[in-house]
Structure 1
Amino acid sequence: MHTDTERGNSKIKYILSGEGAGTIFVINDKTGDIHAMKKLDREEKAEYTLTAQAVDRDTNKPLEPPSEFIIKVQDINDNAPEFVNGPYYASVPEMASVGTSVTKVTATDADDPVYGNSAKLVYSILEGQPYFSIEPHTAIIRTALSNMDREAREEYFVVIQAKDMGGHMGGLSGTTTVTITLTDVNDNPPKFTQSLYHFSVPEDIALGEPIGRVKANDRDIGENARSSYDIIDGDRMDIFEIITEPQTQEGIIRLKKPLDFETKKSYTMKVEAANVHIDPRFISREPFKDTATVKIVVEDADEPPIFSSPSYLLEVHENAAVNSVIGPSTSNLPKHQKSPLMFSIDRHTDLERQFNINAEDGKITLANALDRETDVWHNISVIATETRNHSQISRVPVAIQVLDVNDNAPEFASDYEAFLCENGKTGQVIQTVSAIDKDDPRNGHFFFYNLAPEMVNNTDFTIKNNEDNSVSILARHRGFSRQTQELYLLPIVISDTGNPPMSSTSTLTIRVCGCSSDGVVQSCNVEAYVLPIGLSMGALIAILACIILLLVIVVLFVTLRRHKNEPLIIKDDDDVRENIIRYDDEGGGEEDTEAFDIATLQNPDGINGFLPRKDIKPDLQFMPRQAQAPNGVDVDEFINVRLHEADNDPTAPPYDSIQIYGYEGRGSVAGSLSSLESSSSDSDQNFDYLSDWGPCFKRLGELYSVGESDKET
């Protein structure tokens, strides 16, 4: 580096700054020469940007502005080509034509590709000829032979070389390996291992059971080795079939129809094996199929009975008589049956013993009456057993269908309950009802609806047919009231179209309810009718709960105060447990008129009028009972009679009640219990009347002390 201001000035000093200054590059501060102090690698860094400046050696003041320059590292061929993705694996179909592309390899060279030939690569094959070739500049590997056979050799190992300097002497090189596998194509037909197969089979072999296996080998693999088998010729080809076993690629010969040793003892057929997937390139070379002969010998066996049908379907009406024959016989067996047969029903399939079967001819009869609405189908199993060899048994399923008979009347589809608004309109639809019928007619159900005869002329409701097996209930007028009548019962007669027709009467319950202006039901209770307007049910319940709580508090308060004031010992006057009224005073003559009401004692000849209960309303009203006792009847007997009447009176409640006995004893010589007339009575009058009434009061005390159950007396 030199400055234009030098001109023999020895005070100029050169300084260097920038990338690598002072380490990789240094400058002679007197001459301005720049030297590289380390070995440079273009592949590591290709160029450096530096700044040089001339300054006064004494003052270090710049003599001119700094100058920027770039040092570029020139490339040399010091890197060999590399295959960074190696080793490679590729495949190509066998029998591929010459020049078929297999794969492409790529090598990289770290040298400068734009300077010289250091990075100019040329590819070649070191190993793998004459089977494969490679294009020198594109590195595409191609097939070099057309008859490479996978069945002869499946895998090839190829070595590829990449050389720089355009392949000239002195260049560097690198290698990689390519493993090439030939993929299979269907170029081989299947071949049977033998031309004739022999099989023996007993005549009682089950349908679908394998009789024998044949195998055609194929040198191909995978899908190309798959073969299908067919029977192409032979006698009675419809008796046998052949299928392909997917895993082993074997042909399995199976029985399609029953064998009979007495009819035919051997069969000969020809089977063919053919490839499923055929490559059209090789069809002209050879056929992709092979054939073999199969001979099957039938062996005699003691076979069980064979029914003429694998299953039977019988029909019977549900009103069929017991012991009637159901359907055709199940005993149609081959004519050459060697032994007589005995028929029976497997009772595990007929637990209710609904059917019987004739042991000789196999005719099924009805043992019990059938009901289609309970069971539509009965599936039983009929057993045929050889009488000479009970081990030879055959079974056949028999399905018995019970046919419908119109033996059920239609009825409401559900438990309908209709609601009628008090503010409803005339002709308003109250409820739509439909019917169901347990029977199953062939043409479907069709019902007729009519009001019961006693309701035809009613003025409240009518019905309308909707033409869809349903009817609508209409109100004939408006102005229904819950207080007048809150419940209506509307009987409807429903008839079907069966033969004979069946009918029944179903009753629809209609409740009169209070509704809003838009017809929404709000309440159907009569009690709710008198509720104050503006109070909801929740508010009324809350008020009632508060009242009950207040009453409970008051009762507890009163009870606690009474317990606090009561003495520990109950006085006799306060003991009312037996409901006995005691008069603990002595007759005082005229003062007796103040002790009780004489009018309560009636004359024996009078009648005790019937006093109705005011605490309950009896369901049944009974005539008043005669309280008169005949002359000479003892009071004890009279009370027993009244007790018997009370026990058998249906209107008598089961709780305590009061019975008034307005009876004056005849046995007393006193005409009256009163002493009002004692001053004017005869001197021989007997005032000891209490001695005559003593047994009566004693008996009353016994009755009241019997127990709670007799207090009603």
Structure 2
Amino acid sequence: MAAQWRQRTNALVVTLGVLHCWGLGSCYDERTSILTEDKSLEKHPVTHERVKRGWVWNQFFVVEEYTGTEPLYVGKIHSDSDEGDGSIKYTISGEGAGTIFIIDEVTGDIHATERLDREEKAFYTLRAQARDRQSDAPLEPESEFVIKVQDINDSEPKFLEGPYIGSVAELSPIGTSVMKVMASDADDPTYGSSARIVYSVLDGEKFFTVDRQTGVIRTAVADLDRETQDRYELVVKATDMAGQMGGLSGSTTVTIVITDVNDNPPRFPQKMCQFSVPEGMAVGTSVGRVMATDADMGENTDMSYLIKDEEGGELFRVSTDTDTQEAIIIIKKPLDFEKKRTHNVVVEAVNKHVDPRFVDLGSFRDQTIVRVSVSDVDEPPVFFPPNGAIMEVQEDAKQGAFVGFVTARDPDMDNVPLRFSIDQSTDQEQIFNIDAVTGAITLGKILDRETAGWHNITVTAVEADNQSMASQTTVSIRILDVNDNPPELATPYEVSICEDAKPGQLIHTISVVDRDEPQSGHRFYFTLAPEASSNRHFTLLDVKENTAGIRTQRSGFNRQEQNVYLLPILVVDSGPPALSTTGTLTIHVCGCDAQGVIQSCNATAFSMGTALSPGALIALLVCMLIIIVIVLLIVTLKRHRKGQRMCEEEEDMRDNVIKYNDEGGGEQDTQAYDMSALRNLYDFPEAKSSESLPKRIQNHVNSDREVADFSLFKGYIRKKVEQADADPSVPPYDSFQTYALEGSGSPALSLSSIHTLSTSSEQDFSYLRDWGPRFRQLAGYYAPAQPDEEGS
């Protein structure tokens, strides 16, 4: 038990042997005991003394990048139970144990067998164990320790974000910040100066500088000109060890682009350019293009153009092509070779975006002279005035009278003769003629202003030797009015007055119309016609505004005595010559109520204007409704009585049928048989259809004693019977004549309109007893006839 207790309480002694000179050059070889037995505490009382330690007891250090041929000694572990007889075996486990790090089982010495790199792995964690060599039982609790890789300056600074590209505006002042560069060092920044970096410029230091500590690049000069050099390539170096000798370094390339400012005005490459254009070119046609150059770039090259001289600005205008920055010279007014052959136009270019910092450097504009030469071309004739002519002629002018001249000339230098003509599409009636040489327009027909007050004709002028050179103008001819139409009443006046009209009462105001249009305006004079000047009923008052008022002279008009008065009125215009006309005013006398509202007039013309009160309208409607009901009742009763009468007559129809076996008078016997009456179906609608009524009767008779439906004849027969009963001048249709078969010896066979089924002369007419009453109803279908000699 004592031995086991000793084994558990013995402390593991870890010895650090570092054979490496630290930064100050001192070497350490120290050994520390972390735990001892209780007995040792009794033998050696604990004294409180400060012990100098340069290491942590459970941490080893090993230098990185060891290049020796022998394993590098790291340190030693030791148990105070080790008597030195080799009975204790030391082992290690953990990261790199047995490969990177090995231990001497007897002595506890640890060595590194591989070259270590702190930048790859900065420390290793292992565990140490002391065991009995015979029983392999652990003598001490397992202890953990760390082997830390000691850094050396073996990594140079690197620019991880390079290559760098920055920019700065041209003409920037000295010290303007451009950009910042930054390098990194993989060495341990907490140990020594291996990771302390400083910056410097290797190439381009004349134009730019770099801050040693921060890496900020700044301008070193103030005259950077983009137009001279638009970019610079710098080489910036980063050195560790704070720049001391022996430090490592790295470099990168920095590209600095000089950005543009608007410090250059536009410039025309030539101070004069020339273009040629034929005369008569359409307005808006481009003459040519000029362009100013600008050493700047981007929007700083945007410019606008304008015309400076007054003459050029009158004939030309300039616009800017935004894509090419060219000035386009455009015709503003037609150019005429005969007026001026050369035009000098001053075109100015101006920057759109001016930097106020450089206004004092000079004017940001330039000018050039554009010379435009006008060439001669054959031009069509030109009319004067160019917008058409207006002429006037009296409407009573004689045929061939002069109207006016049209004037045109050849604008070319040759000034060739012209020929004039009227476009027939504008003067289809050939009212006007024109002299082909002089252009004089004369009348071809008599005019009437009231038919057409204006005539617009198109006159064409062509060169005598070149018909393709033609021009047209419009001539508007105004027809001047003459007083050739008398005035007329505006409407056929009809006026109504009340029977109790008062004397002096204004009953109507009349006006007139005149188809003429005198230049001084219309003036009409109104008087009563001579035949009405002595009337005692009405007077006329001319109110001097081309209207006249009609007033009553007396009271007490009586429509029973006279319901209509005709008042002739004479109207005279102002001429010259003065023309007159007489119009008649019809005055109706009407009955009025107490308020003067017209109730009724004898005159028919006023019936459209009569208004009934709502009570009168209701009474009128009630009366009309009562009359309609009474008429319907009478018609119904009449139809009922006639129906009863017809039933009584049907009872004795059979006895009134008389048979005739003789031929009768034939076609010549017009007294016995009326042929026209047979052909005329009267107004029987069924008889006018595609199949006549007698034919239908015949079809019923031909069927052998077949019972037929006589509803087809009912309406018509009843109508005829009613007509016969109501007409006292017509003899009664109470007989019926038949013409049967004459016999076998007769070539006519039969004159009867009724077919028989037998060809023998002996025929049975007994069926007539049944058909008698029906045929009696058909009596109206045949004309009445007198019985022949053998009839009864």
- Please give the TM-score of this superposition, normalised by the length of structure 2: 0.44
State the structure with more CA Rg.
2
- Please give the TM-score of this superposition, normalised by the length of structure 1: 0.49
